Structure 1
């Protein structure tokens, strides 16, 4: 094959993908003027690109504030890529129920080759900055990260754990080691302000018939609203929902 031969491409498609990648790199909602400044695309052409991406669901435009952000269609693509479509679909109704009942943000986290990531969000308080969005990779000391270390016994998880542990202090490593038995026993992990100050979380695993962890439900909110124990009423409610969801995948709790 002639290496100098130009591979034919659709330039407009490349440009559209570039716009989506801009949102990933900026990691925040953007105004039209910001997108235009960062891309250098003429205003008339940018309007066409943004309209197309919005209509197809790849972008979402907040009508009140005029900001653009990544759209729900990308969730479908991402879920298909990581093989978690069934989990996402089945978990959505539970996340919605939990978020409405608790008036807190409910997340679904799934495992990827690069660690746990947020795959879906139900937020009863849109103004709350939880320090994360769909696609955010979660650290080992997040409540979801701890849950994966405790429940998912896969080679990839062990490799990820070893990489993450290198960045922890000896004290943090010891604390995590002490927490793991209780997480496994109670199906509950807690993290105080892992991503953003004053915002904490707890997570419960979603398991299948092999007792393999498919993902986890995470509840996020201001620290004073988030229980740190499994026997709180809020924790018990979320555990019940997670157990019901797990049972749909054939899981049975051991006596």
Structure 2
């Protein structure tokens, strides 16, 4: 393609996205500047535009990672109906009401994929960013393993093969409890002193569409589905699920 047919500013913006996407960690402004050799003022304009569009996310520690819009567009490109736009207002409401970080994970071939994060006001390093695949032993991972979704089947089979018999039995008990309570609480394997609990978003066939995960310091995270905060989040997940035809009257086991 000739230079005359290119939009240089768009090309620069896409290059910045590629730089952020190909690194294994969120990048600081200075790191992006060093890689691109852009002036501070120009880079600031590009990052602000990309952030406002949702293509990148500005994290509480002033680093940059991929944004929810890319996840949404990726889902649409695969022919999937994205639930990101539906869930975002709920996540923001949850963070405001509870003071905890709320995130949405959606199914992918690599397991639970973080597609949006609503950070608590004080900020917290949750060990995951948008685009991160969460492990089986996280609360999100157990929820994903407990409810059927064909997209994550290979991921689940691969993860289960790594476990011994005792570990498999313990996980099966967790799966059974999760299906009964729609709730899993865990001390997160990614970051010490951080815990989480997760609840599923289901459709009319009780197939998993995603999971809402609440993250905070261990002492602030409920470990029971009967806790008022847990009940609040479970009710929200069921409200979202009802938009996809889920009904407890036909979905309880």
TM-score, length basis structure 2: 0.82
Instruction: Tell me the residue number matched to 1:134.
Output: 130
Residue 49 of structure 2 corresponds to 55
Alignment partner of 2:214: what SS? Answer: strand
Show CA shifts across 1:112-133 (max 9, x none): 1221111111122342111111
Instruction: Please say which of residues 132-141 and 168-177 is displaced more in the overlay.
Output: 168-177
Shift of 1:92: 1.6
Matched residue, 2:141: 145
Which position in structure 1 is the counterpart of 2:213?
218
Return the index of the structure with the highest Cα Rg.
1
Q: Of 106, 110, 113, which aligns to 1:110?
A: 106
Which of 31, 35, 53 does residue 32 from structure 2 map onto?
35
Please say if 1:20 is aligned against 2:4.
Answer: no
Structure 2 unaligned blocks of 5 or more: none
CA distance in 1: counterparts of 2:95 and 2:24, whole angstroms: 28
Change (3 A) 1:208 1:61: closer
Indicate the SS of the match to 2:248: coil
Task: Report Cα offsets for 1:137-195 as digits up to 9, x if no partner.
Answer: 111111111111111242x3322111112334544333211111111011111221221
> RMSD value over aligned CA atoms?
2.9
Alignment length (residue pairs): 242
Q: CA deviation at 1:229?
A: 1.6
1: CA distance, partners of 2:93 / 2:191: 25
Q: Provide the C-alpha distance between the structure 2 equivalents of 1:151 and 1:88, rounded to a whole number of angstroms.
A: 19
Aligned partners of 1:54 and 1:60 also within 8 Å: no
Structure 2 CA distance for partners of 1:172 and 1:182, relative to 1, 3 Å: same
Q: Matched residues in 2 for 1:202 and 1:81: separation?
A: 30
Contact 2:140 2:198 in 1 (8 A): yes
Equivalent residue for 2:222, pick from 196, 210, 227: 227
What is the alpha-carbon distance in structure 2 between the residues aligned to residue 176 and residue 222 of structure 1? Answer: 24
Tell me the secondary structure at the aligned position of residue 196 of structure 1: coil
- CA 1:178 to 1:59, structure 2 compared with 1: closer, same or farther past 3 Å? closer
Does structure 2 conserve the Cα–Cα contact (< 8 Å) formed by 1:60 and 1:69?
yes
The structure 2 residue matched to 1:80, chosen from 67, 76, 87, is 76
Alignment partners' CA distance in 2, 1:248 and 1:65: 35
Distance 1:241 1:26, change over 3 A: same
CA distance in 1 between partners of 2:61 and 2:142 (Å): 37
Deviations 1:25-56 (A, max 9, x none): 14123123x2243x2x4344x85455335324
CA–CA distance in structure 2, aligned partners of residues 117 and 252 of structure 1: 25
1:70 CA displacement:
3.8
- Segments of structure 1 that go 5 or more residues without pairing to the other structure are 1-6
Alpha carbons of structure 1 residues 234 and 99: separation in structure 2 relative to 1, 3 Å = same
